[in-house]
Chain A
Amino acid sequence: MPILAASGITKRFGGVVALDDAGFACEAGEIHALLGENGAGKSTMVKVLCGVQPPDSGTLTDDGRPATFKNPAAAAAAGIVPVFQELSLVPHLSVAANLFMGHEPQSPLGLIAGRRMRRQARALLDDLGFAGIDPAATVADLPLAQRQLVEIAKAIGRRPRVLILDEATSALTQREVAKVFAVVRRLRDAGTAVIFISHRLDEVRALCDRATVFRDGTDVGTIAIGEASHDQIVHLMIGRALRDVYPPRPPRPAQEESLLAVRGMGWGAALRDISFELRRGEILGLSGLEGQGQGDLLFALFGVYAGVAGAVEVRGRPVKLGNPHAAMRAGIALVPEDRKTQALILPLPVRDNVNLATLPSVARGGFVSAAAEARRTDAMRERLAIKTASRETPVRFLSGGNQQKVAIAKWLLADADVYLLYDPTRGIDVGAKQEIYALMRGLADAGHGILFFSTDLTEIVGLCDRAMVMYEGAVVRDLSGPALSEAALVSAAVGVTETARATG
């Protein structure tokens, strides 16, 4: 008997049908993947399972008994604990306080026993193999990847019967993913059911026992992972065969015009003496372990930081990047890391978000032309295949991949020379990923330059013309041509770690 099953689930958001008669079942002691393109309904299914979104119709059964979870607390009481991609930690509290939130160890007087809590937190983190995290550290001070690990530890600390990992590994580097996998396998062997959602198909293949594939809001099949080939799974997910994932790299003349030249850029300890050139038509990758200054470099180039040392030239002209507005006028665009808090205005319509950066160009005398705005929005919907009920749909109703497309569309309209992309394919499905790869190559071919940070090494190798590896705020390796391989990237990122330790 399945430990948790859903059947006939339907869920609408406004005019968009997120789930349409969908179902699946998972057994105790298995790792069960939910697969599908963005907007296929996986995340909505998870939200239904753990009481975040009540379904419009359909039934859940918990150990064979019908169950309704009115809210996340009710689901948690039944042992169903989710970890989401959106982080739910309280940033200004310590790691330990977050881990035990709501069930803190108490002293005889009913106060929180801080020392005992930190000790238990240490034990929990050590047990999970997350030894690098200090229980007394404030969550806001941790890099994104460590916060994600804390999130996972917090869920496991509640001893779930069903653990749900919804894109919980997308912010992690390969080494951290391996740690999480070890923990998850241990839980499975102890009889816990694990529902796993990831857009990294190789992760799913490495970890999961079975998978249920979603397409267009309904389940289209459940397969044993070991018996299905990569191509079969992808075919099931997108209803068509996946051709070459990465667009071909065109041969380029050796000396294209320099679009972006950076010399001696520094910012406190976060960025140290960075110099490089980005040429017309080039996709330049940024790699290295997470949190080595790649994000700071993109922010510095977009004028977000004050007091950045060094010189920047765009198309040979020196530019002062005092703020994002100035960077934008200089011809630089940034698609930031977190689309929900940094890129998009979630309650506002698709139309407003798409046109936000370029309002003056659809306006005359300070007033926006509704027709011009609609035309541009539709052009972007068409060009990027953005799935939305209408132009007026608030972007919060769109799926992750479609939200990301809106974030990109906003900057396509700005027609920048240089595009800075921070992990643009994080947490979105293969189909949308492939579309974004093709779009990036198309931009490069049209004469733009792209500086592209990714946590996914295969993306860097498959897509980029050249890649820089960063370590502790400095560029430590520049790889191109045949030298650009996953092995080279890993060894550059890790090899440098060792030399730096030896010299430092």
Chain B
Amino acid sequence: MTKSEAGSQKPEARRRITRGFRLPASDFVARNRAVLVPYALIGALLLIAALRTPGFVAPGNLRTQLVLASYLATIAAGETLVILTGGIDLSVAWNLNLSAILLTQLAEGGGGGRIAWAVVAALGSGMLVGLINGIGVAFLRIPSLVMTLGMNAVLEGVTLVYTNGSPQGAAPGFAKNLAVGRIGGVVPWALIYWAILSLTLIFVLRRSVFGRRLYAVGNNPRAAYLSGVPVRGVLVASYALCGLFAGIAGVLLTGYSSQSYLDMGSPFVLPAIAAVVIGGTSILGGSGGYGGTIAGATTVVLLQNALQVIGVRTAGQQILYGLIILLMLFVYGRGRRIRE
């Protein structure tokens, strides 16, 4: 190496570079702007709601809203992974529905062993569906939108055949407890679960080999491939995990409504994607993370609640989600371009 030669002109270069030094705090804001926006949004939303309807910010109501957000955030966790790769999963609707139905029908009238088996089947079917999605996208190179939309239709058909049009059974006690139960009547189990999920997922995305590769693949699959990253494996794993999260969401929602029913997943697809996008994850893949999605899911649920309070119907809410997704894409899309 010609290190001594390179070193001789170093001090000057170093001085020039450090002249661009900025305060750590402003640096933090700049780096995490995408995540801070949705948290600011929550604050604004709460403020407005509190001024109009003081009951909205009562601790009891906020706790209820956060529990509802934990269900949505479970689906959105899977979508975050898939969207980070640059894909999307539309099959979560019927995937979680099938999991929910498997849970209630297989656990019907059985003891602990039977319930455990039903849970394994519910989560396993969710993951299996995700695995097939991943194989279709990674190996057969089917665009994720098409692959998962097709998968959703297939799952709907399978579910209708399997249930003969009317799902049987009721949610096992443990599922109810997880979804709506509280420790000592105060702290909801669902929030404990959500906290564990969040910490794990954030850590996995930041520090695991899988997480690092996920960002590489989402940003530039070609360079990742030429860097020896097993791109297909990463894709399959993220779709499989997305399926697993859909399965977990199926269990939670079954516990919430004490039963499974047809088309219980569809109302969550658009809000879940909205949660991811509002949370600052780029719909093009490669940037963002679960920290934002947490805020995104909370925002969506609070908004839902606020709209109900004001008296906006479902149709109006749907229009609003669509507009929010488009608006967020516009805002973040511009931000990205300017920073380039």
Q: Which residues of A contact B (CB under 8 A)?
A: 12, 14-17, 20, 216-217, 238-240, 302, 304, 323-325, 327-328, 334, 336, 341-348, 352, 355-357, 359-360, 363, 366-368, 370, 383, 385, 387, 389, 396, 410, 414, 431, 434-435, 438-439, 442
| Docked-complex contact B16 and A217, CB < 8 angstroms | yes
Residues of the A chain whose Cβ atoms lie less than 8 Å from the Cβ of B7: 385
Residue from B208, B225, B340 within 8 A of A368 (CB atoms) = B208
Which bucket holds chain B's interface residue count? 35 or more
Residue from B2, B5, B216 within 8 A of A352 (CB atoms) = B216
Give min CB distance, B78 to chain A, whole Å.
19
Residues of the A chain whose Cβ atoms lie less than 8 Å from the Cβ of B215: 345, 348, 352
Residues of the A chain whose Cβ atoms lie less than 8 Å from the Cβ of B216: 345, 348, 352, 356
Q: A15-B17, A16-B17, A238-B9 are in contact. Are A366 and B209 (CB under 8 A)?
A: yes
Residues of the B chain whose Cβ atoms lie less than 8 Å from the Cβ of A304: 226
Residue from A341, A357, A367, A442 within 8 A of B208 (CB atoms) = A367
| Docked-complex contact A14 and B226, CB < 8 angstroms | no
| Docked-complex contact A435 and B16, CB < 8 angstroms | no
Give min CB distance, A266 to chain B, whole Å.
22
Which residues of chain B from 2 to 23 have a CB within 8 Å of any chain A CB?
2-3, 5-9, 12-13, 16-22
| Docked-complex contact A434 and B2, CB < 8 angstroms | yes
Residues of the B chain whose Cβ atoms lie less than 8 Å from the Cβ of A434: 2
Q: A15-B20, A345-B220 are in contact. Are A357 and B1 (CB under 8 A)?
A: no
Bound Cα distance A14, B19 (Å): 11
Bound Cα distance A360, B213 (Å): 11
Known A-B contacts: A240-B5, A347-B219, A383-B1. Give 8 more (CB < 8 A): A15-B21, A341-B220, A345-B219, A345-B223, A363-B208, A366-B209, A396-B340, A435-B6
Residues of the B chain whose Cβ atoms lie less than 8 Å from the Cβ of A216: 9, 12-13, 16
Question: Which stretch of B189-197, B227-235, B246-254 is in the interface?
Answer: B227-235
| Docked-complex contact B16 and A325, CB < 8 angstroms | no
Give min CB distance, A397 to chain B, whole Å.
10
Main secondary structure of the interface of B (DSSP, over half): helix
Q: A345-B219, A352-B212, A359-B212 are in contact. Are A439 and B226 (CB under 8 A)?
A: no
Residues of the A chain whose Cβ atoms lie less than 8 Å from the Cβ of B18: 15
Residues of the B chain whose Cβ atoms lie less than 8 Å from the Cβ of A356: 212-213, 216, 224, 227, 229
Q: Which residues of B contact A (CB under 8 A)?
A: 1-3, 5-9, 12-13, 16-22, 203, 207-210, 212-213, 215-216, 219-220, 222-230, 286-287, 340
Residue from B16, B20, B223 within 8 A of A14 (CB atoms) = B20
Closest 8 CB pairs of A and B: A328-B228, A15-B20, A385-B6, A357-B227, A356-B227, A359-B209, A345-B219, A357-B228
Give min CB distance, A289 to chain B, whole Å.
25
Residue from A20, A240, A327 within 8 A of B9 (CB atoms) = A240
Residues of the A chain whose Cβ atoms lie less than 8 Å from the Cβ of B210: 366
Give min CB distance, A216 to chain B, whole Å.
6
Bound Cα distance A345, B22 (Å): 25
